[in-house]
Amino acid sequence: MKDVKETIMKYVFLICACASILAVILICVFLFANGVPAIGKIGIFNFLLGETWKPGNDIYGILPFILGSIYVTAGAIVIGVPIGILTAIFMARFCPDNIYRFVKPAVDLLAGIPSVVYGFFGMVVLVPFVRDFFGRQLGFGGNGSSMFTASVMLGIMILPTIISVGESAIRAVPNSYYEGALALGATHERSVFFTVVPAAKSGIMAGVILGIGRAIGETMAVIMIAGNQPRMPKGIFEGVRTMTSNIVIEMGYATDLHREALIATAVVLFVFILLINLLFSLVKRRGANA
């Protein structure tokens, strides 16, 4: 009797372990089954490289949104990566204990703030600031909801990811690297930046890639501050629409081919994310082998 119970529970545990496999399979099947036919109907080149998105006229080209996602993410990298990596270095190698006690929870809090709160903050603070300062005073034009605004916000949002992954990568470097450099007469900064940080390179890269994944998949914060005009991106102070915001904005009322085209947009986004994940595991594996 006891053996039966043991065996049953073993299989219960096994089935639970398979839940995540099942989830991934279901997600792939449902997304691809609903999205790929639309790509076929529209034509893969018309869909991926088409510059016009006019659901009313049955024209579905998502190049503007693909570019929008890429530009906004690139902007987020330009802003978030240097600050993130430098902060990670600070926390791992420069920070005195009594300051660490405040910086660490601050980074955790940044990671915990919901994206809709970030978006709201962007809407009430960043957008007016960009409109008044960059738009009017510096004469860049635009109404504040722009690629630039979204990049700044996303740059802030990916900070905690880059910082925490980077910090643990830097801490994992054996102390002998640092001590060796010091013994050769290098200053503290020189030892950290030219021996410790290069040794943690792949870990830091992994953090950056995770951050890119987060930026490209972010939806709510971007919708609230990027302007969302469905046209080719025109400039960094002009509005832009990303793949994610395109889905959320139009899904509510889309029907037929329009709806399928939106799901196909999600398929493209999903493929982007899978590629980023692949890159992440490659970088991580290379780091583990080195």
Partner 1 sequence: MPEAIQPINAQNMKQRIKSYSNSPGSLILAVLVGLAALITVLTLVFILGYILVKGIPNLSADLFQLEYNSENVSMFPSIINTILMTLLSLVIAGPLGIFAAVYLVEYAKKGNKLVSVVRVTAETLTGIPSIVYGLFGMLFFVTTLKWGYSMLAGAFTLAIMVLPVIMRTTEEALLAVPDMYREASFGLGAGRLRTIFVVILPSAIPGILSGIILSIGRIVGETAALMYTAGTVAELPSSVMSSARTLSLHMYTLASEGLHIDKAYATAVVLLLVVLVINWISGRIARKIKKG
By CB under 8 A, is residue 101 in contact with partner 1? yes
User: For partner 1, which residue of 48, 67, 120, 231 counts as binding (CB under 8 A)?
Assistant: 120
User: For partner 1, which residue of 36, 46, 70, 104 counts as binding (CB under 8 A)?
Assistant: 104
Question: How far is Cα 38 from Cα 44, in angstroms, rounded to an integer?
Answer: 9
Nearest to 178 by CA among 86, 89, 284, 290: 89
Which one, 4 or 57, has the nearer CB to partner 1? 4
Contact at 8 Å (CB) between 206 and 193? no
User: For partner 1, which residue of 63, 232, 257, 266 counts as binding (CB under 8 A)?
Assistant: 266
Question: How far is Cα 89 from Cα 289, in angstroms, rounded to an integer?
Answer: 23
User: Taking contact as CB under 8 A, which single stretch among the options 11-19, 58-66, 133-141, 200-208 is the one that binds partner 1?
Assistant: 11-19
Calculate the CA dihedral of residues 206, 212, 218, 222 and round it to 10 degrees.
Answer: 150
Site string for partner 1, 22-51 (x = CB under 8 A): -xx-xx--xx--x-----------------
User: Taking contact as CB under 8 A, which single stretch among the options 37-45, 58-66, 109-117, 138-146 is the one that binds partner 1?
Assistant: 109-117
Question: How far is Cα 157 from Cα 142, in angstroms, rounded to an integer?
Answer: 23
Contact at 8 Å (CB) between 196 and 162? no
User: For partner 1, which residue of 166, 244, 261, 283 counts as binding (CB under 8 A)?
Assistant: 244
Nearest to 257 by CA among 6, 103, 38: 38
Amino acid at 108: D
User: Taking contact as CB under 8 A, which single stretch among the options 70-78, 142-150, 198-206, 264-272 is the one that binds partner 1?
Assistant: 264-272
Helix ranges, 135-255 (H):
147-171, 175-183, 188-191, 197-199, 201-217, 220-225, 243-251
Which one, 63 or 83, has the nearer CB to partner 1? 83
Query: Where in 182-201 is the site for partner 1 (CB under 8 A)?
Result: 182, 187-190, 193
# binding residues, partner 1 (CB under 8 A): 93
User: For partner 1, which residue of 65, 118, 134, 237 counts as binding (CB under 8 A)?
Assistant: 118
By CB under 8 A, is residue 62 in contact with partner 1? no
Token pair 């398929």 in the structure block, residue: 267
Which one, 51 or 179, has the nearer CB to partner 1? 179
By CB under 8 A, is residue 218 in contact with partner 1? yes
By CB under 8 A, is residue 271 in contact with partner 1? no
Contact at 8 Å (CB) between 205 and 32? no
By CB under 8 A, is residue 286 in contact with partner 1? no
Least CB distance to partner 1 at residue 177 (A) = 13
Helix and strand numbers, DSSP H then E, in the chain: 15, 2
User: Taking contact as CB under 8 A, which single stretch among the options 39-47, 116-124, 128-136, 137-145 is the one that binds partner 1?
Assistant: 116-124
Q: Say what angle helices 63-89 and 201-217 make with each other, to 10 degrees.
A: 140
User: For partner 1, which residue of 13, 44, 136, 174 counts as binding (CB under 8 A)?
Assistant: 13
